[in-house]
Chains A and B, each alone.
Chain A
Amino acid sequence: MSSEKLLTLKTRDGEEFVLEEAMAFRSLTIKNATSNYTINNTPLPINVEINTMIKVIEYWKKHSERGISEDELMNFDKKFFKLLHNSELFDLVVAVDYLADKGLSNAACEQVLDKITGKTPQEIRDIFNINNDCTPTSLGG
C-alpha cells in the first residue's frame, strides 16, 4: 500500500480529500488534468460537490475490489442506485459526465432511462421538473 501514489482533490464546495491515483484515474478528466502539469501536493480542483463525490468514490472502491464476482458487482450496483433519490441520481449523472468515467456514466444513464421508460410526457415533466411549454401550434410541422 505504501507504493500507491496518492492524489489530493478539492471539491467545488471546498472539501479536500485524498485518493489513490489508480482509482482517481478512472476519471479521464482527472487523469488528463494531472498529466498536464505537476501537482506538487496542491490539491487538484474538481467541479463536483463532496456529497456526490462520496458516492462516486464508493462506486469506484467497490468496482476496484480484487476478486469480486460479476454477480456481487451486479447486486452492489442494484442496491447502490436504489438508494439514490432522483435528485441525487441526476447530480451523479452530471458529475460523472464531467469526470468522464465511461463505465459509471453508462450505469447512471441506464438508471435515468429506467426511470423514464414507459412514462407519459406529463410524468417525465414531473421527474425533470419541466414546464409544459408545448402548444399544438408551436409543434406544427
Chain B
Amino acid sequence: MNPRLTMEESHMHKRLAVTSGVNVIAGNIDLLSEILLRLPARSLIRFSLTCKLWFYIITGTQFRLSHCRTLALSNALPYSGVYFYNSLTNLQNIDSVPLTGNVTNLPPLPLLDQMAAKTGYPVKVTQSCNGLLMCVISSRTEVSDLKLGFVCNPAKNEYHPLPGPYDKNYEVVCGYNLIFDPSEPPYYKVFCIKRLGTTFRGFSFGSTDLEVSVYVPGSESWRSCCHFYVDYTTRFDCGVFWNGAIHWIGEYFSVHFDAKSEEVVIKNMPPRPQGDFTEKIRYFGEWGGHLHLIQVQTRYAKRFNVLELDKDTWKWSVKYHVHLARLISAFPEMIKQTPYGIHYAFSILSVIRGENEEDSVLLLTIPGKVVAYNLVRKTTKVVRELPGEVANTLHFNHVSAYKYTESLFPVREWSNTKK
C-alpha cells in the first residue's frame, strides 16, 4: 500500500485499477516487455519474482537477448564493480571490488573453482565483455600445453564451454577474446589467437605465424579468419575490445583486429619512455568507450602518464599526468627497500572514467588495500581492505581487472540462440 494515499484514495485507486489500464499492461506481454526492457538487469533479476508471468517474460531467451542488445545500444553500461587478481600477492584466487553504492558484493564465481576441481587444472578469468567473462583452463603437462575456454555469466552462474580450437598438430593457443556486436544475433563471438609452431616437452618453440579464428554460438567449430605475423613481445592473452575491434599490444607494436571485417592492422606503439628497463607497459584497458595505456620508465616508477587513443585519428595522446608521491606518503607501506633500490608496491587495476570528468580515478591495489586515486583532484580514497601479504618480487600484469555488470544473457542456451 502506498503510504502517501489516504485510505479512501487508496480504495478508489484499487477500484479503478481493476477495470482499466493497469490490468491491460499487466496482462499484455508485449507492452510489459517493452517497459521491462528498459530496466537494468539488476532490477530485473529481482522483479522476476513478482509473479509467474513476469518470471516467464524475464527469463525467456528472446527477452534476455533483446535486453542485452538494448543495454549495449544505449551506451550506458553501468558497471557494478571489477573482478581482479591481486598481483602484489601470491594469492591465486580472484577477488572483487564493488564500485557503486547499490552493490555490496559482486557475485562469487564458484564456477572457477568447480572447473578447476573437475579438470585438475588452474582456471583463470582473462577478459570481460558486456557482463560476460572469458575464462581459460590451462592444462600444461610435460608433453602438452592446452588452453580451453569457456564463457561465463556471473550474474546467473551459467557457463558455456567452447569447443577445442586445435586442428593442426602443433599449435599453441595464445588467448581467447570475447566480443559483443549488437547488430547481429547471437551478439557475442569468441576469437582465438593461436601461434603455429612446435611444442616439445611442454615448451613452445613458436614460429611467428599467428592465426585468428572465430567461434559463433550455434556453430559446431571454429572458423579460421586470417593469418599474420608480429614480434614476440606482443601479448595475445590479454586483448581489449574497443571500438569494434580487439586490440593487443606489445612493447613495439599494437595489433588491431576488426571483428566485422576480420582484418588485421598493425601499428607502432607510442614512443617508449627512456630507460634501461625492457617492460614498459603498466596498464592497457578500456572504460566508458575510452582506450587507455600507461607506459613507464621503470617498473617502480611513481610518475607516469595515462595515454588515450583517439577513435578518429588513431593517435595516442596524454590524458592525465600521474604523480603518486602524495599517495606514497599517505601509505608508506607501499615503500619497499630492496638491494636494488627503493621499489613501490602498487598495481594498477583500472583507469575509470566517471560520468563527470572530475570523477575519473585510477583504481590501484597497494599493500592491504584497494584505493581510488582521483586523476583530476589528486585525492585518494580507500575502497576496500585486502587480505594477503605482498610478495617479495612484485609481478605486474598489464591487464588485471575485469569489469562486471549484471547481464541476463542466456549463456547456457547459447548454442540455440543463433537464428
With both chains docked as a complex, state the minimum distance between the C-beta of B257 and any C-beta of chain A, in angstroms: 37
Inter-chain CA distance A73–B198, complex, in Å, is 68
Other A-B contacts than A94-B21, A133-B51, 11 sampled, CB-CB below 8 A, are A87-B13, A90-B20, A90-B22, A90-B25, A94-B25, A94-B31, A97-B34, A109-B34, A112-B25, A121-B46, A124-B50
- Set of chain A residues within 8 Å of B51, measured between Cβ atoms: 125, 130-134
Inter-chain CA distance A97–B35, complex, in Å, is 11
- Set of chain A residues within 8 Å of B25, measured between Cβ atoms: 90, 93-94, 112, 128
Q: Are A97 and B31 in contact (CB under 8 A)?
A: yes
Inter-chain CA distance A117–B47, complex, in Å, is 10
Inter-chain CA distance A7–B26, complex, in Å, is 33
Query: 0/1 per residue, B175-204, Cβ < 8 Å to A?
Result: 000000000000000000000000000000
Q: Are A85 and B39 in contact (CB under 8 A)?
A: no
Q: Are A134 and B55 in contact (CB under 8 A)?
A: yes
- Set of chain A residues within 8 Å of B16, measured between Cβ atoms: 85, 87
User: What count of chain A residues pass the 8 Å CB interface test?
Assistant: 33
Inter-chain CA distance A133–B50, complex, in Å, is 8
With both chains docked as a complex, state the minimum distance between the C-beta of A72 and any C-beta of chain B, in angstroms: 26
Q: Which residues of chain A from 56 to 75 have any CB-CB distance to chain B below 8 Å in the complex?
A: none
Query: 0/1 per residue, A90-130, Cβ < 8 Å to B?
Result: 11111001000000000001101100111011001111111
Could you tell me which B residues sit within 8 Å of A by CB distance?
A: 1-2, 13-14, 16-18, 20-26, 28, 31, 34-35, 38-39, 43, 46-55
With both chains docked as a complex, state the minimum distance between the C-beta of B97 and any C-beta of chain A, in angstroms: 23
Closest to A133 in B: B52
Q: Are A130 and B17 in contact (CB under 8 A)?
A: no
Q: Are B26 and A113 in contact (CB under 8 A)?
A: no
With both chains docked as a complex, state the minimum distance between the C-beta of B14 and any C-beta of chain A, in angstroms: 7
Q: Are B22 and A86 in contact (CB under 8 A)?
A: yes
Main secondary structure of the interface of A (DSSP, over half): helix
Question: Known contacts A126-B2, A128-B25; is A134 also within 8 Å of B14 by CB?
Answer: no
Inter-chain CA distance A124–B51, complex, in Å, is 10
6 closest pairs, A vs B, by CB?
A90-B21, A91-B21, A87-B16, A90-B22, A121-B50, A128-B26
A–B Cβ pairs within 8 angstroms, 11 of them: A87-B21, A87-B22, A90-B20, A92-B21, A97-B31, A97-B34, A117-B39, A120-B46, A129-B22, A139-B49, A139-B55
Interface check A89, CB cutoff 8 A: yes
Q: Are B1 and A126 in contact (CB under 8 A)?
A: yes
Inter-chain CA distance A120–B39, complex, in Å, is 14
Contact of B50 among A85, A88, A125, A138 (CB under 8 A): A125
With both chains docked as a complex, state the minimum distance between the C-beta of B190 and any C-beta of chain A, in angstroms: 27
Inter-chain CA distance A97–B28, complex, in Å, is 11
Q: Are B24 and A90 in contact (CB under 8 A)?
A: yes
- Set of chain B residues within 8 Å of A117, measured between Cβ atoms: 39, 43
Q: Are A129 and B18 in contact (CB under 8 A)?
A: yes
Inter-chain CA distance A109–B37, complex, in Å, is 10
Contact of B13 among A85, A97, A130, A132 (CB under 8 A): A85
- Set of chain A residues within 8 Å of B18, measured between Cβ atoms: 129
With both chains docked as a complex, state the minimum distance between the C-beta of A125 and any C-beta of chain B, in angstroms: 6
Inter-chain CA distance A94–B46, complex, in Å, is 25
